[in-house]
Amino acid sequence: MPKFGALAYTWVGTWNKETGQKAIEKAAKAGLDLIEIPLVNADRFNAELTCRQLAEAGISGVATLALPKEAHLPTNPKRATEFLKLAIDKVEQMGGTHLSGVLYGHAGTLVGRPPTQEERDTCARVLAEIASYANEKRITLAIEPINRYETYLFNVVEDALALIEKVGAPNLKLHVDTYHMNIDEHGFYQPTKLAGDRLIYVHASDSDRGTVGEGNVRWDDFFRALAEINYEGPLVLESFSSVVPEMIAVSCMWRPSMMGIDEMVSRSLQFLKAKATNYGLN
């Protein structure tokens, strides 16, 4: 059975000493194995404190990020490099082993055209340096392609795999998100099969960012492919609720959520565990 987790933003809209403690306690109470910590403000992230809080709660922590606007990799590779190295340092201090997400750009920066080859080459060049830096600290990186309304750089599994191949680093892998796949991929089965053993991290998110299993994602196609590629990574819930005020604008949740956070997490976790069992995920 894979490990199950949830994004901290399920419960809180920011991460600090108090909100981090709250999110960790909520994740542990929900019976999750891990909590995903967004390093959007890596310079202010107290890694040592978080490490202690996680240990006390008996769960693990994983880190993800999207680059800040001022560190959008194609336009400011120097700032992006500095930010990514700082984030890797924080993951090491937290006792983590993985960093994934939109490591190549700012989610929301659009330029009104497709990416140029020069922009993608810049991403590959910087990520090769970052992967080498992370490898020295025994940290694995994973690239997350996201939808066309949030980035113009890498939208589908095929895009991300081409970047991974160009970089050629053994510790650079793939992270997929079913919410983004539902927008830009031609189905769920073939892209997941294409990912193969390079896939190490999954955001399980339904089409409306609500309760997993109650939207339009084709979960059976997705889990069938996961089983066929012998996926062994975590399944991490990425759902949002308008109950968390800070997340309303971020997730564009203009309508009230249909249920409370605890119920949403419980039902989503139950659904994911049942699918994992049905498809024989080890």
Question: Which residues are annotated as catalytic?
Answer: 144, 238
Taken as a whole, the chain contains a residue count of 282
As a whole number of angstroms, the distance between CA 279 and CA 282 comes to 9
Tell me which residue of 103, 105, 74 sits closest to 87, measured CA to CA: 103
3-state DSSP assignment of residue 261: helix
Beta-ladder partners of 61: 35
Count other Cβ atoms within 10 Å, centred on residue 132: 13
Residue 205 DSSP code: -
3-state DSSP assignment of residue 116: coil
Tell me which residue of 221, 224, 217 sits closest to 239, measured CA to CA: 217
Angstrom distances, CA of residue 17 to CA of 20, 23, 53, 160: 5, 10, 9, 34
Contact of 135 with 167, CB cutoff 8 Å: no
Contact of 240 with 246, CB cutoff 8 Å: no
Tell me which residue of 17, 52, 10, 13 sits closest to 35, measured CA to CA: 10
Strands of the chain (E only): list them.
4-7, 34-38, 60-66, 98-102, 140-143, 172-177, 199-204, 235-237
